[in-house]
């Protein structure tokens, strides 16, 4: 089987943890233990988020004023090197010494006419007081929005249109290599009027990009690994139930929070519809059971009846 696993942000950094190299490495080790059995038995692509890491790089840049800050596309490239390295090294430590692994820098084309550019919505970096946020907005051309009682920078989050490295990723998989790719949703790029590909100040949703990657490399399974065990109905209420199996159309009947579960469900639906194969949303530790249908939420066009599990 060919499997794409999208690692959620918590696989790299748990809530409340300081963003040190040591903490990241410890979490990557935990994630690698969950992924290693998949790498041994299947073709595996690992994708990952990069939100806190991009935020940290931006803060470090802002703190050192001798050189102008680099644009977001370059920072995303940096985080792919940083995180890809840790994942590749720690997975390599768990696999047979001759198992090849490769981290492939991933660039993604977005459409300059994507409506997302008219309405930046994606929070990025730290929170500021309104004053500081407004000052940054003026000086750096940021869009800003309130986040609770604080303010943050927002950037557009357009849809991925094309992933440039699909063929290299396929070739590596065909030769038996574990591939780490599409970190942080990929480096956002677009063609300018002269036909040159350039970077763009935006971020691409990691699950959305991973879903497109899984579709384009003809993955048999697309797994969104997160910190909850499944997609729940009535989440947090006494009557909450986990969705064990659903078709993409059945999932349309429910509302999920836009900032967290919504994009994951959407990405899973897209993959299931485009390929006829199954998408899974589950916790990292349950991936193998979820692939067997015994844990997590499986979304597939072949599901005839909604299956719920009381929790």
56/282 with CB nearer a second copy: 56
Minimum CB distance to a second copy, residue 103 (Å)? 4
Q: Is 150 considered catalytic here?
A: no
Minimum CB distance to a second copy, residue 163 (Å)? 12
Which of 122, 183, 184, 296 is labelled catalytic? 122
Q: Is 206 considered catalytic here?
A: yes
Contact by Cβ (8 Å): 281, 224: yes
Q: Is 10 considered catalytic here?
A: yes
Which of 8, 27, 136, 206 is labelled catalytic? 206
Minimum CB distance to a second copy, residue 178 (Å)? 10
How many secondary structure helices (H) and strands (E) does the chain include?
9, 17
Q: Is 16 considered catalytic here?
A: no
91/231 with CB nearer a second copy: 91
23/260 with CB nearer a second copy: 23
Which of 125, 186, 264, 296 is labelled catalytic? 264
Which of 8, 9, 125, 184 is labelled catalytic? 9
70/254 with CB nearer a second copy: 70
Minimum CB distance to a second copy, residue 81 (Å)? 3
Q: Is 122 considered catalytic here?
A: yes
194/304 with CB nearer a second copy: 194
Minimum CB distance to a second copy, residue 295 (Å)? 30
The footprint of a second copy (CB under 8 A) covers: 18-21, 56-57, 59-68, 70-71, 73-74, 77-82, 84-86, 88-89, 92-93, 100-105, 107, 164-165, 167-168, 171-172, 175, 177, 180, 187, 189, 196-199
Catalytic residues: 9-10, 122, 206, 264
């Amino acid at each position: 089987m060919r499997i794409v696993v999208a690692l959620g942000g918590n696989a790299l950094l748990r809530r409340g943890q300081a963003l040190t190299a040591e903490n990241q490495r410890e979490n990557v080790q935990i994630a690698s233990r969950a992924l290693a059995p998949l790498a041994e038995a299947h073709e595996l692509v690992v994708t990952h988020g990069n939100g806190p890491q991009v935020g940290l790089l931006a803060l470090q840049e802002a703190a050192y004023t001798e050189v102008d800050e680099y644009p977001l596309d370059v920072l995303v490239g940096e985080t792919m090197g940083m995180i890809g390295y840790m994942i590749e090294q720690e997975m390599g430590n768990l696999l047979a010494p001759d198992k090849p692994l490769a981290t492939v820098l991933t660039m993604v084309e977005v459409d300059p006419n994507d409506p997302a550019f008219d309405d930046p919505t994606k929070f990025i970096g730290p929170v500021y007081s309104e004053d500081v946020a407004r000052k940054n907005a003026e000086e750096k051309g940021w869009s800003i929005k309130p986040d609770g009682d604080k303010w943050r920078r927002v950037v557009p989050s357009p849809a991925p249109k094309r992933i440039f490295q699909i063929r290299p990723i396929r070739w590596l998989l065909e030769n038996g290599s574990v591939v780490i790719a599409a970190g942080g949703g990929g480096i956002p790029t677009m063609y300018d009027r002269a036909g040159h590909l350039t970077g763009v100040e935006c971020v691409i949703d990691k699950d959305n990009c991973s879903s497109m990657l899984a579709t384009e490399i003809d993955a048999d399974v697309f797994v969104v690994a997160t910190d909850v065990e499944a997609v729940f109905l009535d989440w947090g209420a006494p009557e909450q139930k986990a969705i064990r199996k659903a078709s993409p159309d059945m999932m349309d009947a429910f509302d999920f929070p836009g900032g967290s579960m919504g994009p994951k469900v959407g990405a899973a639906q897209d993959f299931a519809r485009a390929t006829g194969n199954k998408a899974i949303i589950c916790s990292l530790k349950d991936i193998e059971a979820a692939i067997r249908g015994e844990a997590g939420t499986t979304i597939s066009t072949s599901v005839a009846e909604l299956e719920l599990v009381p929790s």
